[in-house]
Amino acid sequence: MDQFQLRDGVLHAEGVPLPDIADAVGTPVYLYSRAALTAQARAFREGLAGLDNPHLAFAVKANPNLAVLRVLQREGFGADVVSGGEMTRALAAGMAAEDIVFSGVGKTHAELLQGIEAGIGQFNIESEEEGYELALLAERHGKRAACALRVNPDVDARTHEKISTGKRENKFGVPIDRAASIYAALSAQPGLDMRGVAVHIGSQLAELEPLEGAFAKLGALIAELRGAGLSVSHADLGGGLGVPYKAGEVFPSAAEYGAMVVRATKGWDVRLMFEPGRYICGNAGVLLTRVIRSKRSGNGPPFVIVDAAMNDLARPAMYGAWHDFDAVEPTGEHMTAHIVGPICETGDTFAMDRETDALSAGDLAVFRTAGAYGATMASSYNSRGFVPEVLVDGDRFAVVAERIAPQAILDAEHVPDWLA
């Protein structure tokens, strides 16, 4: 169920009218629904009911907010992290070190060490070079690091090119045709406990076939590794399940995904691991914004200038992504408009020629499906601050990330003595 719905003509987040939040916290502001987060987390888990004890790790990069992580920790999720900073957050949210998986193509020496010292559950190694470095570090600390080898299966995820990760030319993982020899070499390292293989072919996947194709290749690899006398007890199937961004769009359900996984992994005899991000939080958040003013543009539709911008929500500028845009108090009238932010870039455009609720200066509106890859991608471009985040739970809400004002950012900058 959508947790952002009209009640008596006013858009609510669960039981809270959005104007109340705008009054209390100001705009722009990200809002997350706890009920939506838990519903998605449970739907994902239930979709995998046909598996024996799957390991669920939320992909922190999709929404690293501490309170969001805590909601998911309470749903029994661990974390898939891609930096030391994300690891710190997952631990701060109460996720067990054992339930943390560390992915990423460029883990630094310091980050590998951080993972070893924290005792995280699994490193997903993305190159032979990284494996040797980790092996040395672990040995030096008298430990064996549990590892999976991330494989690049050379499968086209049929998603946006900037979020496709499983094709040969992408930087992620080791080429599948070299995976067996690399796995064998790393298995001989005393500092490593090579226990499995991993894939993640991309994000916002609209179809299951590319995933199924990747899993088939992974299954063949597992058989090959075992044939060579190597041990494989885990397989990490990554994330990538897409979510609808437009009302009416239909995406594979968690149940369909789960059924495909059961089919594709039959006989693997491993513990399966998952790293969903967007599926869990994408539709659990909106970006609440206020119209600054409308501006006529020649003969074309007007520009509706809102107080959110590409620095707050980068997806439209970065990927040409669509976000549904709705008035908080719709009058029933409609208009065609270009929806833009205040930033001095033409890319700061959320939508062109958008059929939308009629809006004028001072009105509130939301960009929907902003719970994933929203606040986390924010910058302070144009010396704007960082947008606050609010978590709603029933009829209560709390600021879970404060607004960072431009002055606070300025306070961290210094003019050197020799320029004084």
Ligand X SMILES: *Cc1c(COP(=O)(O)O)cnc(C)c1O
Structure tokens at 226: 């075992």
Q: Which of 344, 415, 419, 420 is catalytic?
A: 344
Asked if residue 367 binds ligand X (CB under 6 A), the reply is no
Contacts of 179 (CB under 8 A, 6+ apart): 149, 151, 197, 221
What distances in angstroms separate CA 252 from CA 247, 269, 342, one per listed residue?
15, 25, 36
Q: Are 90 and 114 in contact (CB under 8 A)?
A: no
Asked if residue 59 binds ligand X (CB under 6 A), the reply is yes
Q: Give min distance, CB of 414 to ligand X, in A.
A: 35
End-to-end CA distance of the chain: 59
Q: Give min distance, CB of 30 to ligand X, in A.
A: 17
Asked if residue 315 binds ligand X (CB under 6 A), the reply is no
Contacts of 382 (CB under 8 A, 6+ apart): 309, 311, 342, 343, 344
- Closest by CA to 289, choosing from 276, 278, 305, is 305
Asked if residue 126 binds ligand X (CB under 6 A), the reply is no
Residue nearer to ligand X on the CB measure, 164 or 265 = 164
Residue nearer to ligand X on the CB measure, 200 or 384 = 200
* Part in contact with ligand X (CB under 6 A); list of ranges 55-63, 137-145, 265-273, 390-398: 55-63
Residue nearer to ligand X on the CB measure, 62 or 387 = 62
Residue nearer to ligand X on the CB measure, 54 or 239 = 239
Q: Give min distance, CB of 200 to ligand X, in A.
A: 4
Of positions 279, 325, 350, 367, contacts ligand X by CB under 6 A: 279
Q: Give min distance, CB of 110 to ligand X, in A.
A: 20
Residue nearer to ligand X on the CB measure, 219 or 276 = 276
Asked if residue 61 binds ligand X (CB under 6 A), the reply is yes
Asked if residue 285 binds ligand X (CB under 6 A), the reply is no
Residues 221-260 that bind ligand X (CB under 6 A): 238-241
**DSSP output for 10-79:** EEEETTEEHHHHHHHH-SSEEEEEHHHHHHHHHHHHHHTTTSSS-EEEEEGGG---HHHHHHHHHTT-EE
Q: Give min distance, CB of 28 to ligand X, in A.
A: 23
Strand partners, 197: 149, 235
Cis preceding linkage at 28, omega within 30: yes
Residues 154-213 that bind ligand X (CB under 6 A): 200, 203
The count of residues interacting with ligand X (CB under 6 A) is: 17
Sheet harboring 4-7: ordered strands across? 4-7, 10-13, 16-17
281 flagged as catalytic: no
Strand partners, 261: none
Asked if residue 328 binds ligand X (CB under 6 A), the reply is no
Strand partners, 390: 31, 399
Asked if residue 64 binds ligand X (CB under 6 A), the reply is no
Asked if residue 107 binds ligand X (CB under 6 A), the reply is no
Structure tokens at 151: 């494989």
Residue nearer to ligand X on the CB measure, 210 or 341 = 210
Structure tokens at 409: 């950012």
Asked if residue 12 binds ligand X (CB under 6 A), the reply is no
Which residues in this chain contact ligand X in the complex, by CB under 6 A? 59, 61-62, 80, 82, 103, 200, 203, 238-241, 275-279
Catalytic positions: 344
